Amino acid sequence: MDFSALIPGLLLGLTALVIIIYCLGLLLRNLPIFRFRGTWEERALLKHKKFLAKARAFMEQGQYQQCYPLLQQAFYLRQIKSSESMVQRVLEHHLAILSAVLTLSERYPVPLSNLPMIEELVQIRAALCKSYLDAALTVKKLAIKNAESGRKSASPKWAIHAFSQKTEELIEKINTNQKSLESELIKLFSGIKHSANLSEVTYH
């Protein structure tokens, strides 16, 4: 039996299999079960938005001491990996929290010395998360191109390695940013709590 005659058929079959797997991936990616990450992040953001809504409600009622702990809880600092639009929504949520803190400061003694730093950090965080998504998508596209193409048209390994390394570096920067944000938020809300305690002592 001449096995060399089977080689073209096998290659054709493997190519067809790769195409089928790729198409199935595109199809399944649009099903709800494969959008779990995005759905999970949306639910988590909704939970943190509820903290902000409760804080605003207390603020309207003049219950300022109940307000600031909820504002601190409202921050959502996990890395967003689903989409750039989700990153933008989280950024807008954080800016809304900072706006609420400013509103609180108009009615209640709130130290705001590091508020500009926090705003800068949330802006930087959003930019880093978007850069990560871009780099991760590039790695994915290069991998798909290599799977679909022949050896001559495949992307060089150094390109995939470079973008993979970039994603790792961005993750490190995002983690560093989170630590900085957590530190600044502790400083901000510790100051608010201290002012609240002093106000309560003065009141009594």
| pLDDT of amino acid 85 | 95
Q: What is the CA angle 145-40-181, rounded to 5?
A: 95
- Is-contact 135 167, C-beta < 8 A? yes
| pLDDT of amino acid 147 | 64
Q: Show Cβ contacts of residue 193 under 8 Å, excluding neighbours closer than 6 positions.
A: 68
pLDDT < 50: residue spans in the chain: 1-3, 6, 11, 18-20, 22-35, 201-204
One-letter amino acid identity for 131?
S
| pLDDT of amino acid 184 | 97
Q: What's the pTM? A: 0.74
Two tokens, residue 39: 């759905």
Chain center to CA of 114: 23
**pLDDT tens digit sequence for 97-125:** 999 999 988 888 788 999 999 999 999 99
Two tokens, residue 111: 């130290």
Mean pLDDT value across the chain = 80
